[in-house]
Structure 1
Amino acid sequence: MRRARRVALGVGGAVVLLAALDAYVVVTVLIDIAEDLDIALNRLERVTPVVTGFLLGYVAAMPLLGQLSDRYGRRPLIHACLGAFALGSVLTALAASELMVVGGRTLQGVAGGALLPITMALIGDLWDVRERPLALGAVGAAQELGSALGPLYGGLLALTPGLSVLGVEVGGWHAIFWINVPLAGLAALAVHHTVPPPRPSPLPDASTPPPPAPLVSGAAPPPLTSSQTPGDCGLEESESEGGWSEGPSAPTGQAAGGVDGVGGALLALALALLVVGVYNPEPARAVLPPWGWPMIGAGVLAGAGFVWWEVRSPVRLLDLSATRKGPLLATLAVSFLTGAALLVTMVFVQFTAQTLLDMDALEASLLLGRFLLALPVGAVLGGLLARRLGDRVLAVAGLLVAAAGYALMSRWPLDLASAGLQVDVDLVVAGLGLGLVIAPVSAAVLRVTPAAQHGVASAAVVVARMMGMLIGIAGVSAWGFHRFQSLTAHLDTPLPVGVDAVTYARRLAEYTARVRAALHVEYTEMFLVTAVICVLAAAVAIFVPGRAESAGPTPQSFSKR
Structure 2
Amino acid sequence: MAQEIRPPRLGGDPPGPGEGQSRRTVLVAIGALLLGMLLAALDQTIVSTALPTIVSELGGMEHLSWVVTAYMLASTAGTPLWGKLGDQYGRKRLFQGAIVLFLIGSALCGLAQNMPQLIAFRALQGLGGGGLIVLSMAIVGDLVPPRERGKYQGLFGAVFGTTSVLGPLLGGLFTQHLSWRWVFYVNLPIGVVALFVIAAVLHIPARSTRHTIDYLGTLLIASVATCLVLVASLGGTTWAWGSPQIIGLAVLGGVLLVWFVRVERRAVEPVLPLKLFAIRTFSLVAVISFVIGFAMFGAMTYLPTFLQVVQGVTPTMSGVHMLPMVLGLLSTSTASGQIVSRTGRWKVFPIAGTAITCVGLLLLHRLDENSSDAEMSVCFFVFGAGLGLVMQVLVLVVQNAVSYEDLGVATSGATFFRSIGASFGVAVFGTIFTSRLIGKLDEVFASAGQDLPAGVGPEQVAADPRAIATLPPDLRPAVLHAYAESITDVFLYAAPVVLVAFVVAWFLKEDKLRASVTAPDTSQTLASNPVERSSRDECARALSVLGSREGRKAIYVKITDRAGLDLLPAASWLLLRVRRHGTVEPARLAETTPVPLRVITEASRQVEERRLVTREGVQLTLTEDGVRAAVSLARAREESLAELLGDWWGPDRPTDLVQLVEELTAELCGSDGERPHTPEPPGDHHP
- Whether these two folds match at TM > 0.5 is yes
The one of 358, 365, 370 equivalent to 1:410 is 365
CA 1:544 to 1:130, structure 2 compared with 1: closer, same or farther past 3 Å? farther
Specify the SS of the correspondent of 2:216. Answer: helix
Q: Tell whether 2:108 aligns with 1:91.
A: yes
Find the counterpart in structure 1 of residue 437 from structure 2: 484
What is the deviation of 1:77?
Answer: 0.9
Q: What does the per-residue CA deviation read over 1:336-361, in whole Å, with 9 as the maximum and x for residues that have no partner?
A: 21111111221121111011111121
Find the counterpart in structure 1 of residue 33 from structure 2: 12
CA 1:314 to 1:555, structure 2 compared with 1: closer, same or farther past 3 Å? farther
Find the counterpart in structure 2 of residue 214 from structure 1: none
The one of 246, 264, 278 equivalent to 2:205 is 246
For 2:245 and 2:87, how far apart are their aligned partners in 1?
Answer: 39
Q: Tell whether 2:51 aligns with 1:30.
A: yes
Find the counterpart in structure 2 of residue 221 from structure 1: none
1:56-135 alignment runs, 5 A limit: 56-125=73-142, 132=149, 135=152
For 1:461 and 1:15, how far apart are their aligned partners in 2?
Answer: 24
Q: What amino acid sits opposite 2:366 in the alignment?
A: R
The one of 255, 266, 270 equivalent to 2:224 is 270
Q: What amino acid sits opposite 1:177 in the alignment?
A: F
What is the deviation of 1:403?
Answer: 1.3
What is the deviation of 1:282?
Answer: 7.0
What is the deviation of 1:5?
Answer: 5.3
Find the counterpart in structure 2 of residue 206 from structure 1: none
CA contact (8 A) 1:148 1:372 kept: yes
Q: Tell whether 2:477 aligns with 1:470.
A: no
Q: Tell whether 2:481 aligns with 1:517.
A: yes
For 1:33 and 1:127, how far apart are their aligned partners in 2?
Answer: 42
For 2:470 and 2:267, how far apart are their aligned partners in 1?
Answer: 67
Find the counterpart in structure 2 of residue 177 from structure 1: 184
The one of 201, 205, 213 equivalent to 1:259 is 213
For 1:288 and 1:190, how far apart are their aligned partners in 2?
Answer: 54
For 1:448 and 1:127, how far apart are their aligned partners in 2?
Answer: 29
CA 1:284 to 1:78, structure 2 compared with 1: closer, same or farther past 3 Å? closer
The one of 319, 340, 344 equivalent to 1:365 is 319
- Root mean square deviation, CA, Å: 3.1
CA contact (8 A) 2:395 2:415 kept: no
For 1:86 and 1:505, how far apart are their aligned partners in 2?
Answer: 36
For 1:443 and 1:65, how far apart are their aligned partners in 2?
Answer: 24
Percent identity of equivalent pairs = 27
1:14-413 alignment runs, 5 A limit: 14-37=35-58, 39=59, 44-125=61-142, 132=149, 135-161=152-178, 172-196=179-203, 245-248=204-207, 250-253=208-211, 258-280=212-234, 283=237, 286=240, 291-319=245-273, 325-386=279-340, 387-388=342-343, 390-413=345-368
TM-score by length of 2: 0.65
What is the deviation of 1:438?
Answer: 2.4
Specify the SS of the correspondent of 2:171. Answer: helix
CA 1:526 to 1:10, structure 2 compared with 1: closer, same or farther past 3 Å? same
Residues paired across the two proteins, number: 486
Q: What amino acid sits opposite 1:189 in the alignment?
A: F
CA contact (8 A) 1:136 1:455 kept: no
What is the deviation of 1:506?
Answer: 11
For 1:454 and 1:59, how far apart are their aligned partners in 2?
Answer: 19
Q: What does the per-residue CA deviation read over 1:27-73, in whole Å, with 9 as the maximum and x for residues that have no partner?
A: 11111111221x2xxx5113222111111211111112222222221
CA 1:463 to 1:506, structure 2 compared with 1: closer, same or farther past 3 Å? closer
Q: What amino acid sits opposite 2:116 in the alignment?
A: L
CA contact (8 A) 2:81 2:213 kept: yes
CA contact (8 A) 1:120 1:139 kept: yes
CA contact (8 A) 1:66 1:114 kept: yes
Specify the SS of the correspondent of 1:345. Answer: helix
For 1:96 and 1:282, how far apart are their aligned partners in 2?
Answer: 26
Q: What amino acid sits opposite 2:223 in the alignment?
A: L
CA contact (8 A) 1:392 1:543 kept: no
What is the deviation of 1:128?
Answer: 6.0
What is the deviation of 1:322?
Answer: 7.6
Find the counterpart in structure 1 of residue 452 from structure 2: 495
Find the counterpart in structure 1 of residue 520 from structure 2: none
What is the deviation of 1:288?
Answer: 7.8
What is the deviation of 1:295?
Answer: 0.9
What is the deviation of 1:539?
Answer: 2.0
TM-score by length of 1: 0.79
Q: What amino acid sits opposite 2:33 in the alignment?
A: G
Q: Which stretches in structure 2 are left out of the alignment for 5+ residues?
A: 1-17, 455-467, 518-645, 656-687
